[in-house]
Amino acid sequence: MANNVNDVAMTWDDEIQNDGEGFRVLPEGEYDFTVTDFTRGRFEGSDNMKACPKAELTIKIHDPDGDVTVNENLFLNKKVEWKLCQFFIAIGHRKHGEPLRPNWNAVKGAKGRCKVGIKKWTGKKDGKEYKGNEITAFLEPPETAAPPQGNAAYTQEPLTSATQPRKWTGGQF
């Protein structure tokens, strides 16, 4: 069950006012994201994959024209372990090739970058074609710049007897 503050039953007499965010489909591309919610769930299995636990993520995709929310499931199944690795690399919790025991408690609020695509489907009841966003890949964060090596503008002079640090003797200043 989602841990959503808006998932609250209303009574027949409650006042209503929330018009919603509106639905908007982002163009395909790369975007920054923030994980706004995480719930532990269960995938009951299919012809393609056995039953397994799943991480149900609510992800806010950041766009200058307004954020868009996407739901993403991460399945805890060896068949798609690569996607778990991709996600934890994107949020900075893992490096390529390194083993990781995920800290699921640190997922909510995590930030990263992802590739967003557009998925299309046909409604089963009305036969209409619909479009929405999906995350097609979680992207590796850019490498941090290494400290400069051998900066010619700054060199440290060797210590001379006049600049040698004094030895400390307890009780003396």
Residue of higher predicted confidence among 29 and 12: 29
Residue of higher predicted confidence among 170 and 77: 77
- Provide the domain count of the chain: 1
Strands (E), 63-110: 68-75
Residue 81 lies in a domain: yes
Residue that the structure tokens 């395909």 belong to: 28
- Region 38-58 average pLDDT: 95
Q: What percent of the chain has pLDDT over 70?
A: 76
The parent domain of residue 125 ranges over 29-139
Residue 85 lies in a domain: yes
Residue 170 lies in a domain: no
Residue 110 lies in a domain: yes
Residue 97 lies in a domain: yes
> Could you read off the pLDDT of 51-99 as tens digits, one per residue?
999 999 999 999 999 999 999 999 999 999 999 999 999 999 999 899 9
CA 21 – CA 123 distance, rounded (Å): 22
Rounded-to-5 percentages of helix, strand, coil across the chain: 10, 35, 60
Q: How confident is the model at residue 155 (pLDDT cuts 50, 70, 90)?
A: very low
Residues 107-135 as b or e (16 or more Cβ within 10 Å = b): beebebbbebeeeeeeeeeeeeeeebbeb
CA atoms within 13 A on the CB side of 144: 3
Residue 16 lies in a domain: no
Residue 83 lies in a domain: yes
Residue 60 lies in a domain: yes
> Could you read off the pLDDT of 113-126 as tens digits, one per residue?
999 999 999 989 89
Which of 62, 52, 54, 61 minimizes the C-alpha distance to 2?
54
* Secondary structure of residue 121 in the 3-state scheme: strand
